[in-house]
């Protein structure tokens, strides 16, 4: 299976031109699954709610999802990509779509909002789901979700073999580290598509860190992109490598889990000292 990444440098608000640039990049070589950055056609740093209202789109009816679906149909591929979504009740989400020649196959609304995103977007309410793409099981995370191992674990337990990770990373290469770990601890491929360049549309200047990457289930870095240039890459992988969770004869990433000993529902109160005997 061929997996492609387009590392971009979009112009804020120029949806049509940004989408066209990405389509031209994807048309330059074949991939079975393309991964594009978060908010790939709009740019990242909204300065007002009015801008979000102007640039957000319904999914799948909006022009960006339609453009990607048309490309997928014409080129026989699937595409994972981020965009701002407006739902029927006027709420906004930082969303990733997965389209294939049949159209929209998965919509994921970012669960863990980062920084000023909390001013515009509602936290995601879609489940962490996995779908079949060309014989491989694919799930979606968006950017800051990488910081929360439970999210990647949930996808892996649901059968994901590939985690597509549209991103607009601004912190110093944390995600390159965590997504390598997410791949290793879950025995899955991770594909992070980031962007480069900067935006300075509010008080804060954001520099996007590039270094898109692809990691195999044993933690091997298959591809690491440049920090300061756009780039399109396609790599061949074998998704079946993600089906065997064994580490050795004795240990298996999933069979050795002890869910009864974990409490993933603990709240912040669990961090306070208790008077329980040791
Ligand atoms: C991010 O979640 N875009 C840092």
> What domains appear along the chain, each with residue ranges and CATH number?
2-244 (3.60.110.10)
Looking from the CA of residue 44, the nearest atom of ligand 1 is 3
208 ligand 1 Cβ < 6 A:
no
Q: Could you tell me if 18 and 26 are in contact, meaning their C-beta atoms sit under 8 angstroms apart?
A: no
Instruction: Please state the rounded mean pLDDT for residues 99-103.
Output: 98
Instruction: Please state the rounded mean pLDDT for residues 117-136.
Output: 97
Q: Is the pLDDT of residue 12 over 80?
A: yes
Closest C-alpha residue for ligand 1 atom 3? 168
Closest C-alpha residue for ligand 1 atom 2? 144
Instruction: Please state the rounded mean pLDDT for residues 52-70.
Output: 98
pLDDT of residue 277: 58
- The DSSP line for 25-42 is HHHTS--SEEE--TTTTT
DSSP class of residue 151 equals: H
pLDDT of residue 173: 83
**pLDDT band at residue 274 under the 50/70/90 scheme:** low
Looking from the CA of residue 175, the nearest atom of ligand 1 is 4
Instruction: Please state the rounded mean pLDDT for residues 262-278.
Output: 71
**pLDDT band at residue 269 under the 50/70/90 scheme:** confident
Number of H helices, E strands in the chain: 6, 14
pLDDT of residue 210: 98
Instruction: Please state the rounded mean pLDDT for residues 174-202.
Output: 98
The per-residue pLDDT of the chain, averaged, comes to 96
34 ligand 1 Cβ < 6 A:
no
Q: Is the pLDDT of residue 247 over 70?
A: yes
The end-to-end CA distance of the chain, in Å, is: 52
Q: Is the pLDDT of residue 256 over 70?
A: yes
39 ligand 1 Cβ < 6 A:
no
Please tell me the distance between residue 189's alpha carbon and the centre of ligand 1 in angstroms. Answer: 20
- The percent of residues above 90 in pLDDT, for the chain, comes to 93
pLDDT of residue 276: 59
pLDDT of residue 169: 97
Please tell me the distance between residue 201's alpha carbon and the centre of ligand 1 in angstroms. Answer: 16
pLDDT of residue 278: 55
pLDDT of residue 151: 98
List own/partner pairs for 117-123 with CB under 8 A and 24 or more apart. 119/46, 119/49, 120/46, 120/49, 120/52, 120/84, 120/92, 121/52, 121/84, 121/92, 121/93, 121/94, 122/91, 122/92, 122/93
Of 93, 115, 175, the residue with max ligand 1 atoms within 8 A of its CB, to mutate for a pocket test, comes to 115
Q: Is the pLDDT of residue 67 over 80?
A: yes
Active site residues: 38, 110, 143
Strands of the 92-100 sheet, one edge to the other: 103-109, 92-100, 78-86, 33-35, 2-7, 231-236
Of 114, 179, 193, the residue with max ligand 1 atoms within 8 A of its CB, to mutate for a pocket test, comes to 114
pLDDT of residue 89: 96
Of 37, 144, 194, the residue with max ligand 1 atoms within 8 A of its CB, to mutate for a pocket test, comes to 144
* pTM exceeds 0.85 for this model: yes
pLDDT of residue 259: 94
Instruction: Please state the rounded mean pLDDT for residues 135-156.
Output: 98
CB neighbour class for 268 (10 Å; exposed up to 12, middle 13-18, buried from 19): exposed
Instruction: Please state the rounded mean pLDDT for residues 248-256.
Output: 98
Q: Is the pLDDT of residue 142 over 70?
A: yes
């Amino acid at each position: 299976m061929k997996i492609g990444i387009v590392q971009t440098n979009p112009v804020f608000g120029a949806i049509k031109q940004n989408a066209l640039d990405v389509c031209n990049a994807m048309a330059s070589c074949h991939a079975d699954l393309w991964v594009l950055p978060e908010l790939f056609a709009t740019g990242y740093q909204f300065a007002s709610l009015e801008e979000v209202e102007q640039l957000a789109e319904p999914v799948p009816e909006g022009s960006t999802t339609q453009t990607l679906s048309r490309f997928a149909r014409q080129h026989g591929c699937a595409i994972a990509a981020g965009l701002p979504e407006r739902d029927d009740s006027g709420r906004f989400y930082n969303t990733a779509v997965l389209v294939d020649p049949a159209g929209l196959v998965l919509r994921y609304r970012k669960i863990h909002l980062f920084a000023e995103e909390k001013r515009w977007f509602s936290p995601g309410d879609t489940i962490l789901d996995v779908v079949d793409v060309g014989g491989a099981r694919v799930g979606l995370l968006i950017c800051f979700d990488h910081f929360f191992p439970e999210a990647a674990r949930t996808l892996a337990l649901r059968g994901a073999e590939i985690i597509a990770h549209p991103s607009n990373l601004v912190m110093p290469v944390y995600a390159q580290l965590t997504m390598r770990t997410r791949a290793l601890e879950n025995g899955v491929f991770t594909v992070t598509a980031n962007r480069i360049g900067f935006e300075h549309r509010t008080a804060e200047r954001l520099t996007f860190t590039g270094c898109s990457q692809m990691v195999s289930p044993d933690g091997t870095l298959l591809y690491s992109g440049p920090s300061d240039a756009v780039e399109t890459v396609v790599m061949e992988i074998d998704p079946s490598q993600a089906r065997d969770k064994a580490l050795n004869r004795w240990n298996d990433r999933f069979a050795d889990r002890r869910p009864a000993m974990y409490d993933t529902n603990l709240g912040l109160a669990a961090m306070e000292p208790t008077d329980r005997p040791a």
